[in-house]
Structure 1
Amino acid sequence: MFTKLGKSLMVTSSVLALTGTAAFAQNQDTLKTNRVVPFTGVKDYRTWSIGAWGGGSAALGPFGGPYYFNNFDFKNVGVVYGAYVKKQIFHNFGLQADFMRGQVKGATKAAQTLTDINGVATPGGIKSFKTDIEWSTSLSGVLSLGSINWINKQSYVIPYVSAGAGAIAFKPTVTAADGTETAVMNKSGKATHHELYIPVGVGAKFVVAPGVNIDLAYNVNFVDSKVFDGVNSGNKDKFSTAKLGLEFALGKKRKPQLAVVNPAAVLAEDLWSKNAALKNSLAESDARNQSAISELKGEIADMKKDSDGDGVPDYLDKCPNTPANTPVDGAGCPLPKPVQVVKEKVIVTEADRKVVKDAIDNLEFDLGKSTIRPTSFSSLDKVANLLVEKNFSLKLAGHTDNTGSAATNMRLSKARAEAIRSYLVSKGANASRIEATGYGSTQPIADNKTAEGRQQNRRVEFTLY
């Protein structure tokens, strides 16, 4: 369980990191805020924020312990959600109040005989459990690990660790091997248990806009109860959560968010703005570079020169002095003139139609199948010769009566048309010029209420063109 959740968390973190870095590399101006003078406290920052999240839970975690419910698959992942309020105290430390609800589930690979809170064994053994978290509240300290960034002025990805304590109310239910569900009561005989718990986690904030962060985290929650998972294993229980959410900073938009500001960059910017001598040096350097820039502009202008006006610059033009209005390729050379293709008119004679009619009249299939009877081969061979000699195109349309289901009739009509097409192709006809379609019983030409009418409706139509 921990390995799979860990891999999912790492992949999601990598995608968000790449996305966030690319977005800010293209437009860093979106994060411009009021300049804050260093060492003046937090009055010019936004220090309060709120967040909401959703995610999955499991009865397993990275720490040791007897995990009876270790038959992990995604059916045993519970859904959890919550919200929080955070106060940033320093650049890299803040206090966060969390609220959580949801569900934790788990299953064993084989039913096990386990006991409840009173030490009573469950008949038949326990197969799975489900615990509803009615509510939980906690207060945690959050320590940021990447506020100082020596590569970029703005920290886009900020990893952190957190730990705290709180209270949780939950209702566990176990399921025996025979499918019987049993609510696990507390010592007072009530379904809802109230206990202390300790959440410990790791995560990362991804800055996506001024005052807006994506929050990705993984928490292990240590519960002061031996029956959070519905059974008394003799040890205190724990469960893990993987969370994805959004955090919004509160306060004036032009104020930077204290949690994501790079203090080293703020200090450097303050020193830079006060160093007039350095600014003058940069101005002088710009002046010295003006001549080089002018020369470069001249070279660029020469590279754009197109003497013959064919749209290809001279330095790339392999065919200079092309006559005006002559279409050219990317190398500036004239394009070859297109060859006109004369399309031959197709004429279908009465003799051709008779060959097709004879094939239709002599066409027979095995009853209820798409197998062509040998008595039909001779007339079909003549149709194949006609297609080869005159390069005709042919449309085959299969039809049935209304006996049987519509789906069966549609398949049979299509299969019979395809069988004729395959036979003609085997005799040398061009496969690309033969179209085979099945219409089932949707286009009758006679009354399906009579045997004679049904016989007429069972047909394959040939159309030359």
Structure 2
Amino acid sequence: MNYSTIKKTAVAASLVAALGFAETAQAQTPTVFGGRSQYRTWSIGLQGGITTPNALIGGNNAFGNKVGYFQNKVGEYYGITIRKQFSHSFGIEVEGNRGHIKTYNHDLSSATEGPFAARSAKTEVNWAGSLNGVFQLGTIDFLRRENAVNFYAKLGLGAMAYNPVQYANNDFTSVVFDNKGNWGDEILGDRDAVGDRNFRLTAYVPVGVGAKFKLSEVVALNLGYTMNFTDDALLYGPKGGSHTSKKDRFANVYGGLEFTLGSRDKENLTFTNPVATLYDELKDPSLRNEVEALKQRVSTLEGTVDQLGKDSDGDGVSDKFDKCPNTPAGTVVDGSGCPIKFPEPVVQKEATQNAYYAPIQFEFDSSVLKTESYSTLDKLAKELRDANSSVTLDGYASAEGTEEYNLNLSKDRANAVKQYLVNAGVAASRINANGYGEANPIASNATEEGRVQNRRVEIKK
């Protein structure tokens, strides 16, 4: 091979390597399906087919002084492949082949115009090896992954050893050119170069397409077509005229079987499709139940958040913490949602007027006696029993809520104190219990401190 061949080889090798590394890096990125370790990624294939001196692109190979002298004649071609799949869409393949490429001249009269008056040629390919990048283009029926068909394309770079033999007739019997045993370090087109090799070396670029039919979890039928572009003008032997330096090409059609290696418990990555995997997962009842449960939890959480944030009266305090619901719009409220009443001049009455005991205090919206009141009431009960005297109990409430509700609450508070005294041995007839609601406040209802003092029962003679 000359310098041009070496340069093209390096460029093509760089291209294949770059594509390989790019796909490998992509395969290492997490995808919807698991990593390569859960799949079978190695395979070996056996293939056989035929060759033709023409390719789909570029027309016929030039031979002699006119284009079209030599026509297709079928030659046998067979080989082996070893492939490593890096992702569902890309793999690297080593391919080796050998066989023959044949052609013949349909116009016998024009054969005399060639340099050796050759009417046919047969090229023996002793070996051809290439490194290919294989790109999966698509798959049919991937939702079930049964009887799947995968389409692919491949691009590679290789080297081959060959020997062309030219004949004076079309039955390959009368040899007019055979350089076997004399090939050497010849310069392309130099027919006088002498060596001792049986085969000439050249680089070539295989470009092909094909389809794989999944026959089982292990075996696939592989059908394909490859065009091989060589870096040599002597693939079919020497030719004259303007075609002396034109690079030759050939194509091969093949069929074969590919065997996936590895444990049968794992899927074949070649026929794995992320969309199919996602489809299968969506059909999985357990996963569906999990998704539904997650939806329910999210719905419950959203409901809780809505409930916590609900503010029916729009006072800025959520209903859950609003102690004074339904306040009028625009009302200034405190942290519990109750209206703030700004201090006004209040004539405070003497808390002890006509009273000889401190008022009994109560919690907000409650008529239950505090335990701290028991000692005062026990002392009062003893005094009433000893003196055989009477007492008046006046109940009050703070200004939260309606007046009617607070009136009843104040009566309940006075009766709670009366009941305690009765239980302590004081005759009920000597106890007068009254309720006055929000009336007669002893402190301002605009502050919580004042409202605490107004929740009381006063003890009077």
| TM-score normalised by the chain length of structure 2 | 0.48
Q: Larger radius of gyration, structure 1 or 2?
A: 2
